[in-house]
Structure 1
Amino acid sequence: MGKAARKKNKAPKVREVFVAQPFEGLAAEPELIALREFVPSATAPLPLADAGREVTLATVLPGAAAAFVRTDERVFVGLQVQTRSSDISRDLGRSLKWALDAKPGDVLSVPDTTTPGGEGERLQDLLLTDAELEVTVHANFDWWLPEDADADGEVKLSLDRANEAIMPTERLGTGSYWVLAGEKAHLRWVRPEPENKLLQALARLSAAGELGLGEGSRYAGSFRAHGLLVPVWDLDPEAHAREWAGPAEQLGARLDRALASLDEKPLDAAERRARDGLIGRQLTLR
């Protein structure tokens, strides 16, 4: 075969385009980001568009697997995995489709990140897009095993290591989580609003002295994760998570009012300075 023929028969390269907001269009977007990025141990039933086999979404599975089926036939798909492609939603959709056909004991170690994209593979194609996630936060990873199963050998070692590394975490609201990280406690809150509008609302609260959660708290900054902004507050580690639930709810109400006011009243000079200060305390996570 000549050079011309080989060039003609060569398959065209498919350029992978990075999807910066992979969960866009899903009502569960803030929760998916939180479970993917910083919640250590949590599960939630997946709201499948095609009701049939029940599937549980999990933060992390044994060995950071993409999916597995327990011996009691319960099906799990993991968010925190070892590899990813340019589109996390497609990775998860493929893992979900694999899990729906898997048998007890089957494990998908890594998601399919190399096959060219096809139709109907993303989470947006497979889930009820307007459904929220009913998240359960766990104090350990004992849910990796069926209730009547005992861990032994390598499984026990893996479970023990995972349980020892876990940081106490509690859910305060949608996309909002308290975590005790050593000697520090934080509130991390994945917000669904466009970044620029959210920053303006945060700036309005900051200029008014209303950005905190009360005594023992301070606004620490924010980071970007999968297209959304995640504000972070430092909290008094001596206070229990439940003590911050009320203040967090009140802050959410103030933030909603600030967001609504932006359509009627643009930022004034003090608020613009506050916004510039907030922008200076950002970092990006992918």
Structure 2
Amino acid sequence: MAKRSRQKSQPVAAGEVGPRQPCPCGSGKRYKACHGSGDAVYVARPFEGLAGECDLVALRELVPAATAPLQVKGTDKVVQLCTLLPMAVPAMARDSGQVWLGLQVQHAYGDPSRDLGAVLEQAVAATEPGLIGLTEAPGPGPRLQDLLENTTLEVTVHDGFDFWVADMPDAEGLDAALEQANAAATPTARLTGVEAGYWTNVGTKEHLRWVMPEPEDELLAALARLHVAGRDRIVPDARLVGMFRAHGLLVPVWDLPVGTGAEALEEPAVAFRAALDEALALGTDLSAEERAARNGLANRQVTIR
């Protein structure tokens, strides 16, 4: 009997996702049935190459209220990046002449950098105040990497959303919306001594959520080493409980004793970063105990889509 012919799988280049592999977006579907189908686009690490990549991930996924100035090529307009804008709109051309760009939006077309680039272009070109949004995938065009001149990202974390009305001489009628938004904003602070480490208080718990740029395998190995050595607690009674995977980066999360606060984390976080760098330099060859710890960390990951 003749054997049924089978089409051989095409080799997958380094960094690419095979059609039968799980889609990196976290949907649980195979890539060919999700972002690998048709004209769908999925960029695993959309903010790579931008100044403040780790902070951009934090502001998009974790931080309630924050802003950062953007330097946009070809315009002298004041452009401000915001975590969230009223009604979660992607961008606003303000009465003051400023342009505001929102990170936390309702749409998701696979490449947040391209989506943001599309609305930023529209907002900068606008000649009248108004809201700018996307109702469909933007198609080919510049991404944030093509539009921004920033060499650093200067993040300001706010207690709430009063910055929405900071450039408005008359904010009448927005009191209810502001009150509702402010009530939902959990207290958050950015650590000053390390990159993209954010303390937050959710009422019953405090957390440190720290976006890290290292490749996943290397970072997991280093964290496993520190865990086995008992050096991953940050402060006494803190516990590394797991991590998020967001926009191609890992975000380790620590539970902190209630009452810790952000200030108490500053020096310990700097010391932990130094210990982590030492562990990273050792590579990914682990002992049996360290491999078990790495597997435990990998099993406590949640992908943010």
Does the aligned pair in 2 maintain the 1:91–1:113 contact within 8 Å? no
Does the aligned pair in 1 maintain the 2:96–2:168 contact within 8 Å? no
Name the SS of the counterpart of 2:239 in structure 1. Answer: strand
Moved over 3 A (4+): none
Within the candidate set 135, 138, 160, 2:158 is matched to 138
Percent identity of paired positions between Structure 1 and Structure 2: 49
- CA drift of 1:239 comes to 1.9
The one-character-per-residue Cα deviations of 1:39-59 (angstroms, maximum 9, x if unpaired) are 000000113344532211000
Within the candidate set 13, 38, 45, 2:69 is matched to 45
Structure 1 residues 147, 24: closer, same or farther in 2, change over 3 A?
closer
Does the aligned pair in 1 maintain the 2:71–2:148 contact within 8 Å? yes
Within the candidate set 60, 85, 109, 2:109 is matched to 85
The one-character-per-residue Cα deviations of 1:91-133 (angstroms, maximum 9, x if unpaired) are 000111111112453111x335334x224x211111237x221
Q: Does 1:151 align with 2:175?
A: no
Q: Does 1:26 align with 2:26?
A: no
Q: Does 1:111 align with 2:107?
A: no
How far apart in 2 are the matches of 1:50 and 1:257? 42
**RMSD (Å) for aligned C-alpha atoms:** 1.8
Within the candidate set 214, 235, 250, 1:229 is matched to 250
How far apart in 2 are the matches of 1:103 and 1:61? 20
Aligned match of 2:264: 243
How far apart in 2 are the matches of 1:201 and 1:111? 40
Q: Does 1:270 align with 2:270?
A: no
Aligned match of 1:257: 278
Name the SS of the counterpart of 2:302 in structure 1. Answer: strand
Q: Does 1:163 align with 2:182?
A: yes
More helix by share: 1
Does the aligned pair in 2 maintain the 1:47–1:133 contact within 8 Å? no
Does the aligned pair in 2 maintain the 1:64–1:81 contact within 8 Å? yes
Aligned match of 1:285: 304
List alignment gaps of at least 5 residues for structure 2: 1-36
Name the SS of the counterpart of 1:21 in structure 2. Answer: coil
Amino acid at match of 1:132: T
Within the candidate set 210, 217, 237, 1:189 is matched to 210
How far apart in 1 are the matches of 2:48 and 2:166? 34
Amino acid at match of 1:141: F
Aligned match of 2:80: 56
How far apart in 2 are the matches of 1:86 and 1:277? 29
- CA drift of 1:148 comes to 5.7
How far apart in 1 are the matches of 2:123 and 2:275? 42
Number of aligned residues: 267
Name the SS of the counterpart of 2:48 in structure 1. Answer: coil
Aligned match of 1:72: 96
- CA drift of 1:223 comes to 1.2
Does the aligned pair in 2 maintain the 1:39–1:59 contact within 8 Å? yes
Within the candidate set 184, 195, 217, 1:174 is matched to 195
- CA drift of 1:137 comes to 0.4
Name the SS of the counterpart of 2:266 in structure 1. Answer: helix
With the length of structure 2 as denominator, give the TM-score of the two structures.
Answer: 0.83
Aligned match of 2:28: none
Does the aligned pair in 1 maintain the 2:197–2:210 contact within 8 Å? yes
- CA drift of 1:237 comes to 2.0
- CA drift of 1:81 comes to 0.7
- CA drift of 1:233 comes to 0.4
Name the SS of the counterpart of 1:220 in structure 2. Answer: strand
The one-character-per-residue Cα deviations of 1:194-223 (angstroms, maximum 9, x if unpaired) are 111100110111111101112131111011
Name the SS of the counterpart of 1:43 in structure 2. Answer: strand
